[in-house]
């Protein structure tokens, strides 16, 4: 799990708590903070025993932070969890781990659904669900290939060997670029039929 934290004191606690409460404990949570000035780093430092890696230094944006984190990632599967987002329930990691091991999947991505929620109340607003047979089809509204919502995707680490790190010339869509490349190259993708994360409306990509 990788999270970047640029001045997110109002939401980072709920994000961290949603990871800490997971019943599955064989995970790493890597936090990369961009020298926050709003108390974020003070909070993170007070709970640093829960993080595999905690970095606080200047960065040039989300993807620069994520690329730094990738260098520290030891796990086989990587989920990028927004600092104002949460895992949908306490068994997410256990359920996905069980699914991967029981199916023996060799897919490049394992993904589930994402629920868009109110930033303040976390009230459910819209379910984002993409079926495997839809991936790669052209979305007429975007004129781009359909792909899963990024915060519901567990990326196999091999993807970053194949496609490289996130393209830092993009401010907000390098994650979409990666998933579009995955879709266009017909990388195997397997769907877990459950909501993986609750994503706050109004984040940076809005």
- Region 75-79: what's the mean pLDDT? 96
- Region 139-153: what's the mean pLDDT? 88
The reply to whether the predicted model has a pTM over 0.75 is: yes
Return the structure tokens found at 138. 């052209």
Report the pLDDT value the prediction gives residue 204, as an integer from 0 to 100.
Answer: 53
Distance in angstroms (rounded) separating the CA atoms of residues 206 and 203: 6
Residues 6+ apart with CB under 8 A from 71: none
Distance in angstroms (rounded) separating the CA atoms of residues 20 and 18: 6
Return the structure tokens found at 204. 């940076």
In this predicted structure, the answer to whether residue 17 has a pLDDT above a threshold of 90 is yes
In this predicted structure, the answer to whether residue 137 has a pLDDT above a threshold of 70 is yes
Distance in angstroms (rounded) separating the CA atoms of residues 135 and 139: 10
* Domains along the sequence of the chain with CATH: 2-200 (3.90.550.10)
**Strand ranges for the chain from DSSP E:** 2-5, 30-33, 53-56, 77-79, 86-87, 109-117, 124-128, 138-139, 144-145, 153-156, 189-200
In this predicted structure, the answer to whether residue 203 has a pLDDT above a threshold of 80 is no
Report the pLDDT value the prediction gives residue 145, as an integer from 0 to 100.
Answer: 86
CB 87 within 8 A of CB 152: no
Report the pLDDT value the prediction gives residue 141, as an integer from 0 to 100.
Answer: 77
At residue 80, the 3 state secondary structure works out as: strand
Q: How far is CA 106 from CA 52, 98, 131, in A?
A: 26, 14, 18
């Amino acid at each position: 799990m990788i999270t970047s934290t640029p001045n997110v004191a109002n939401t980072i606690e709920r994000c961290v708590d949603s990871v800490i409460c997971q019943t599955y404990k064989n995970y790493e949570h890597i936090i990369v903070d961009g020298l926050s000035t709003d108390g974020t780093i003070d909070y993170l430092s007070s709970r640093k025993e829960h993080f595999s890696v905690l970095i606080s230094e200047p960065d040039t944006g989300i993807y620069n932070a994520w690329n730094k984190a990738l260098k520290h990632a030891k796990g086989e599967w990587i989920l990028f969890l927004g600092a104002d987002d949460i895992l949908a329930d306490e068994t997410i990691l256990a359920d996905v781990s069980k699914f991967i091991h029981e199916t023996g999947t060799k897919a490049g991505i394992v993904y589930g659904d994402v629920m868009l929620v109110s930033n303040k109340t976390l009230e459910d607003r819209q379910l984002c669900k993409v079926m495997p047979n839809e991936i790669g089809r052209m979305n007429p509204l975007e004129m781009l290939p359909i792909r899963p919502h990024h915060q519901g995707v567990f990326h196999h680490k091999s993807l970053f060997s194949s496609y490289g790190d996130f393209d830092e010339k993009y401010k907000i869509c390098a994650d979409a670029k990666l998933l579009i490349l995955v879709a266009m190259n017909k990388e195997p993708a397997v769907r877990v039929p459950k909501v993986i994360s609750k994503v706050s409306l109004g984040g940076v990509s809005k």
